[in-house]
Structure 1
Amino acid sequence: MLVLRPVEPTDLPQLQQLARDSLVGVTSLPDDREHLGGKIAASCASFESNASAQGPENYFFVLEDQDHQRLVGCSEILATAGFNEPFYSLRNRHFTSASRELHIEHGVPALSLCHDLSGHTLLRGFHIDAALVRTPYSELLSRARLMFIAAHAPRFAEAVITEIVGYSDEQGQSPFWDALGKHFFDLPYVEAERLCGLQSRTFLAELMPQYPIYVPMLPPAAQACIGRVHPDGQEAFDILEREGFETNSYIDLFDAGPTLYARTGNIRSIADSRVATVREEPRIDARGRYLVSNDALHGYRATVAELDYQPDQPLALTPAMCAALKVSHGGNVRVVAL
């Protein structure tokens, strides 16, 4: 059985292997043992905290194949983007110029450095084993984070964002970075992303031009990257789009990947999830596939299960499901259709 749970210190060696396999551009998952160890410690402290309001907490989850005691994925929630330092993005909007004498009005798209998205809750760090891509376990890895937010709403913002990895070629070259960022840092895209993951985007963002960058002045290949999703990031995009997330006028600072946005209360896994009382049964006459989680904090667990769910009725779970979710007869779980 595959179960999503909070990361633990003993996960470090396997987590580092996931980082090695992750897509370039997933800056929150760098292949650096010391940095990952710090992330694990910060996550453990966040899950153990008694926070009653939104703060700097970072919740890191891993997807574990319990039968083989192997990690096959990870994902993350940062409660507040930009809590300790600005969360920089590029805002893509039209600048309009006009001449009354010539009766001409013309709009030109331009990119402006901003930190408008500071204060939102940020989903990041999504990575799953290649063998599980486009399976229900990808849905579990992404959406169980949202069910956690539903269970602990005061800890999170009224809006949630995520940055989808933008386009780069098989050699790790980003046409957008080469046309823009590289001129200010003289670093290849892969190295810039690595530094961003190990330190922060702030030190790089502060060296970016503070004035608008007019899109038509960029090479066509760079323009084509604006809002473009890396093929390996398409699944993460599709899952959240089905959840009600939408693109907006913001793009990633380095590779121009799209930013997705949703009001927290409108997200499907939050709005449609329901709490049910557990009835332990040896067998289930399953009628459908669901995501099911407990509403715990540091003991949070979530999995995919074939269930017979009826609204406002006790939910039958097998002993194996109860053990995986760390719940017992008479306890509560949260459930939403897959």
Structure 2
Amino acid sequence: MKHLDYLLRPATLDDLDVMEKFSKAAAFSIRTLKPDRARLAARIERSLLAFAGSEAPNGDEIYHFVLEDMRAGRVVGTSGIVASAAANGRFYCYRNEFLAHGSEELGITNREHTLRLCEELSGHTLLSSFYIEPEYSATLAPQLLSRGRLLFIRNYPQLFAERIGAENPGLCDDGGNSPVWDALGHRFFKMPLLEAEQRTGGRSKSFIAELMPRMPVYVSLLSKEAQWAMGQLHPDAELPFGILVAEGFDVDSYVDIFDGGPIAEARVAMLRSVVSALNVALRGDAGAEGEACLVANMERTGFRATLAQGKFLDDALQMARPAIQRLGLAEGARACAVRVT
């Protein structure tokens, strides 16, 4: 697996079997991929329509990708983009805030961590559905799987919001028990976390606002277990989370209303991959060396992204011809490229 022969492309119905496998392998860390074959097929079909651009964008689009190991001849990962969080409603989460309470007479000042139910991420574009087979975690493949989406957003800004977010799963055991949910959400929903996740199907349902407290929640009044778990990350999410942090996402302002996992948020135009990406002409070189690059074509329906060793030469990128072919391009074609490190 010490190679760069990977391809990121739109998912098709031919990928349904492997998508179902991924959804079962990561039951608690991919909220948007439930192990339901019919729902997965509908998601892929919806994604294909979005990539095709046959209808005017309305914010309800999703774009779903798969990552192929070209040498192994199989799909090894998946990721997605939701064009607009709660396109037809409101996206609810908690905002971390701090309130100061003091008594001059007693000489006591307290700084209290509070959670405020908010809708500030409504309309944000969301990164979603990241999963890669564990044996690939130490390769450059996760970089392509995560950051390749950002190049697609960079090339088609009219399809997405100016700000972007990414939900990250909080602490939860194999049985679906969450300290944050047990201490907070369960008191208002009166049901286990997994049932609440299934019945809401997202963070945009009106009954979230109807049931959850509107007044600030003082974290210090929750159980010790919940206080410790608030804002903590599920171990399965450390890899994609680290890539988001390196991109420049703020990960301290928002947490999920269900399991307390951190929600990353940023301005698209300020992300590392977007700022650093260059439009280049591709030049083929059978013995190309240089630095590792992430390269994407400029197409929508036929979007492709790959990794390659390349040399930036003025307005061009010199890279191996097989990598150019993986993008569905010929020498001299224009592409978008960014350094991996």
- Call closer, same or farther: CA 1:311–1:190 in 2, change over 3 Å: farther
Counterpart-to-counterpart distance in 2, 1:161 and 1:128: 20
Provide TM-score, normalisation by structure 1.
0.91
- 1:226-237 equivalences in 2 (<5 Å): 226-237=230-241
Partners of 1:176 and 1:254 within 8 A in 2: yes
RMSD: 2.2
Q: Contact 1:92/1:250 (CA < 8 Å) preserved in 2?
A: yes
Once residues 81 and 91 of structure 1 are traced to their aligned partners in structure 2, the CA distance between those partners, rounded to angstroms, is 16
Does the Cα contact within 8 Å between 2:308 and 2:319 map onto a contact in 1? Answer: no
Contact 2:93–2:203 (CA<8 Å) still a contact in 1? Answer: no
Q: Secondary structure, in 3 states, of the residue corresponding to 1:181?
A: helix
How far has the Cα of 1:48 moved from its partner? 1.1
Counterpart amino acid of residue 224 in structure 1: W
Q: Aligned residues: percent identity?
A: 36
Q: For the residues of structure 1 that align with 2:206 and 2:24, how far apart are their CA atoms?
A: 24
- Aligned with 1:77 (options 62, 81, 86): 81
In structure 2, what residue type is equivalent to 1:321?
A
Question: Any unmatched runs of 5+ in structure 1?
Answer: none
1:317 positional shift: 3.3
Superposition pairs of residues 1-338 of structure 1, within 5 angstroms: 1-49=5-53, 55-97=59-101, 106-197=110-201, 202=205, 205-206=208-209, 207-281=211-285, 283-318=286-321, 320-338=322-340
Aligned AA for 1:331?
A
- Give the count of matched residue pairs: 335
Q: Secondary structure at the match of 1:233?
A: helix
1:124 Cα offset (Å): 1.1
Whole-Å Cα distance in 1 between the matches of residues 264 and 308 of structure 2?
28
Bigger drift between 206-215 and 131-140 goes to: 206-215
My pick for the range that moved more, 323-332 or 46-55, is 46-55
Tell me how far apart the structure 2 counterparts of residues 94 and 191 of structure 1 sit (CA, whole Å): 31
CA deviations on 1:10-54 (whole Å, 9 max, x unpaired) are 221211111111250421111111211221121111111167777
Query: Which 10-residue stretch deviates more, 284-293 or 44-53?
Result: 44-53
Q: Shift in Å at residue 208 of structure 1?
A: 2.1
2:283·2:316 contact (CA, 8 Å) conserved in 1?
no
Q: 1:133 to 1:190 in 2, by over 3 A?
A: farther
* 8 Å CA contact retained: 1:276, 1:314: yes
